[in-house]
Amino acid sequence: MTIEKGEDWGGRGRLPAGGPVVDSDADLAARWSAGVPDLIVGLTSGDLHRTVGGRGSAEQLRSEERTVLPIDVGVLTLPDGSHLPFVAHVLRRRRFWAGTTLAIMNASFLGEWNVAPRGHPNDGRLDVVEASLSFSDRRKALSRLPSGAHVPHPNISIRRLKRGTFAVASGDRLIVDGEAVDTSGTIEWSVVSDALSIAI
C-alpha cells in the first residue's frame, strides 16, 4: 500500500538468512528486473539509500533488526519495446546543461543534489522536474541544488505523476540510476507501486 500524507511508513524487520544485499541503485533495479522473488533486499549505498536515511553495513543488515521500507519502482519502455526499471532517477540532459533538462525522480537525491526535495519513494508517483534555464540561472541553480533551494523558480517545474512520455534526441544524454543508456526516440514511463521492500 502506497504511503499517504501523515501515515507511518515501513517498520522493523530482519533480512532473511542469505538474503541479498546490493550497494547501488542500478543493482537494486536489476534485482527487481530479474524477477527474483525476494521479500526484502538489503541496500547499503546509492541515492535511494541516502533519500531514506540508510545506515549500516551488509553485515549489520544481515545480523540486526533493521528498518524495512516498501518502495516504488519506475519503468521505462524504450523505443525498441524493451523495459528498463529504475529505483532512483532518470536524467535527460544536453552538454553543459543547455536546453531543457529533465529528471524523473523516485529518490530525492541525484548525487549531492537534492533535486526533488518533496519527493517520496513510496507515494505511487514520480517527481518530474523540468528546467530550461539561461547560462546565468543554470549557475545559480547548480549552486543551490545541494540544499534543494533551486525551487521555486519560474523556469523549473515539478509535477508528481504516475506515467508519462519524453523524447531523447540526437545530442541528448540519457542516464538511468547513474548509468548511461544509448537510445533515442520517444520513451514511455510508469511507476509500479510497492514493487519491493528494502532493508536499510
pLDDT digits (tens, 9 = 90+) for 82-140: 999 999 999 999 988 778 899 999 999 999 999 998 889 999 999 999 987 666 776 77
Q: What is the pLDDT of residue 35?
A: 76
Domain spans, the chain: 11-72, 75-192
Using pLDDT thresholds of 50, 70 and 90, give the confidence band for residue 152: low
Question: 175 or 157: which carries more pLDDT confidence?
Answer: 175
Using pLDDT thresholds of 50, 70 and 90, give the confidence band for residue 63: confident
CB 47 within 8 A of CB 180: no
Rounded CA gap, 109 and 96, in Å? 20
Q: Grid coordinates representing 82?
A: 524493451
**Antiparallel, parallel or unpaired: β 89-93 and 173-176:** antiparallel
Rounded CA gap, 23 and 6, in Å? 30
Q: What percent of the chain has pLDDT over 70?
A: 84
Rounded CA gap, 200 and 52, in Å? 8
Is the pTM here over 0.75, yes or no?
Answer: yes
Average confidence (pLDDT) over 153-178: 92
Rounded CA gap, 69 and 136, in Å? 40
Which single residue is written with the C-alpha cell 546490493? Answer: 22
Q: What is the pLDDT of residue 30?
A: 94
Q: What is the pLDDT of residue 1?
A: 47
- The residues with which 42 forms a beta bridge, in sequence order, are 21, 199
Question: 142 or 180: which carries more pLDDT confidence?
Answer: 180
Rounded CA gap, 156 and 63, in Å? 44
- CA within 13 Å, CB half, 36: 13
Residue 3 has pLDDT above 50, yes or no: no
Residue 46 backbone phi and psi in degrees, to 5: 110, 170
What's the fold here for domain 75-192?
A: Tumour Suppressor Smad4 (2.60.200)
Q: What is the pLDDT of residue 141?
A: 66
Residue 4 has pLDDT above 70, yes or no: no
Q: pLDDT tens digits for 19-35? A: 899 999 999 999 998 87
